[in-house]
Amino acid sequence: MAHIVTAKELCDYLKLSDSTIYKLALNGELPGFKIGDSWRFDMDEVIEHIKAKKGAIGLEAALIGRIKKNRERKVRQGWKK
């Protein structure tokens, strides 16, 4: 069963301001839905979304690191950038 929380409860959990929560939700960067004028969030979806973002950031950092190492190797070998 879904664990639905209010924006205020999500603010407290994530230690973010309410304006940040609303901005992220409006931009589609945070999964949520509106009931009338009020935002609601499924905590399981929010947590999974954050885990996926963390994984994507880690993968991106690893790829950037690999690209930099390849460039450094090429420069050491006298290749052009």
Q: How many domains does the chain have?
A: 1
Residue 72 has a pLDDT of 79
pLDDT of 74 strictly over 90: no
Could you tell me the pTM of the whole model?
Answer: 0.68
Query: Tokens 């409860």 identify what position?
Result: 9
**In which domain, by residue range, is 70 found?**
4-76
- Axis-axis angle for helices 18-26, 7-14 (nearest 10): 110
Comparison of pLDDT for 78 and 11, the residue scoring more: 11
Amino acid letter for position 39: W
Residue 22 has a pLDDT of 95
Q: Does residue 81 belong to any structural domain of this protein?
A: no
What token pair was written down for 3?
């664990």
Q: What is the pLDDT of residues 20-69, one digit of tens each?
A: 999 999 999 999 999 999 999 999 999 989 888 887 777 666 667 777 77
Amino acid letter for position 21: I
Distance CA 78, CA 80 (A): 7
Residue 3 has a pLDDT of 93
Q: Does residue 67 belong to any structural domain of this protein?
A: yes
Q: Does residue 49 belong to any structural domain of this protein?
A: yes
Quick count: other Cβ atoms within 10 Å of Cβ 42? 16
